[in-house]
Amino acid sequence: MSHALIIIDLQNDFCPGGTLAVTEGDQIIAGINAQMAEAAAVVLTQDWHPHDHSSFASQHPGLDPYALTDMPYGPQVLWPDHCVQGAHGAAFHPDLDTTRADLILRKGFRREIDSYSAFFENDQITPTGLEGYLRNRGITQLDFAGLATDFCVAWSALDAARLGFQARVLTELCRGIDLDGSMAKALADLRAAGVDLV
């Protein structure tokens, strides 16, 4: 058991009833809990935005949720307000077994920049610290599960491959948003990067 299970953003706002609900987002939780027993390390990520985060459409008068805008670091989708620090929507779904987690990594906490990936903020340069943590623990293989397949899961797994980790996405234990073909693009990008889809 030398692999880590990285569980992306299994938070209330991404589950049915949340402000950025992913269809069937809660239906992967039992399978993820079961998968934890197979892993040498379990890492949970938590999307963790200030209330006035720049990725929120509410901060851009005249623009609607799901519109695309330009940020200094590149194009950015604008989202409904979600995963606000300390709010119920930012908490892990109550069915997720958080006791087994070795590390809880928060991301997206800087107002001016979003962070889909567990490894880098959306400028693709600013590290979150996760790479160092995993390398210090001698972990080289990473399994990814969680929400959303086509955003935070895909960006995390692509960065993992780029950093030289052996990366797999457990596709049955993920669900996606699928915005303008983002699901098909994410899966193609993952395959092209050498990420195993299992």
Kindly list the catalytic residues: 9, 107, 152
Q: State the Cα angle at 83 between 156 and 21, rounded to 5°.
A: 80
In the list 56, 119, 120, 151, the residue contacting ligand VGL (rule: CB under 6 A) is 151
Cβ 93 vs Cβ 32: under 8 Å: no
Tell whether residue 56 is a contact of ligand VGL (CB under 6 A).
no
- Residues numbered 90 to 119 that lie near Zn ion (CB under 5 A) are 108
What does the radius of gyration of the chain's CA atoms come to, in whole angstroms? Answer: 16
What is the rounded end-to-end Cα distance, in angstroms, of the chain? 18
Residue 138 C-beta: closest distance to Zn ion, Å: 30
CA 58 to each of CA 12, 51, 152: distance values in angstroms, whole numbers, following the listed order: 20, 10, 21
Closest CB to Zn ion among residues 110, 185:
110
Tell whether residue 79 is a contact of ligand VGL (CB under 6 A).
yes
Looking at 24-32, 59-67, 146-154, 156-164, which segment touches ligand VGL (CB under 6 A)? Answer: 146-154
In the list 4, 84, 139, 148, the residue contacting ligand VGL (rule: CB under 6 A) is 148
Tell whether residue 47 is a contact of Zn ion (CB under 5 A).
yes
* Residue-by-residue DSSP string for 153-168: IHHHHHHHHHTT-EEE
In the complex, which residues of this chain contact Zn ion (CB under 5 A)? 47, 108
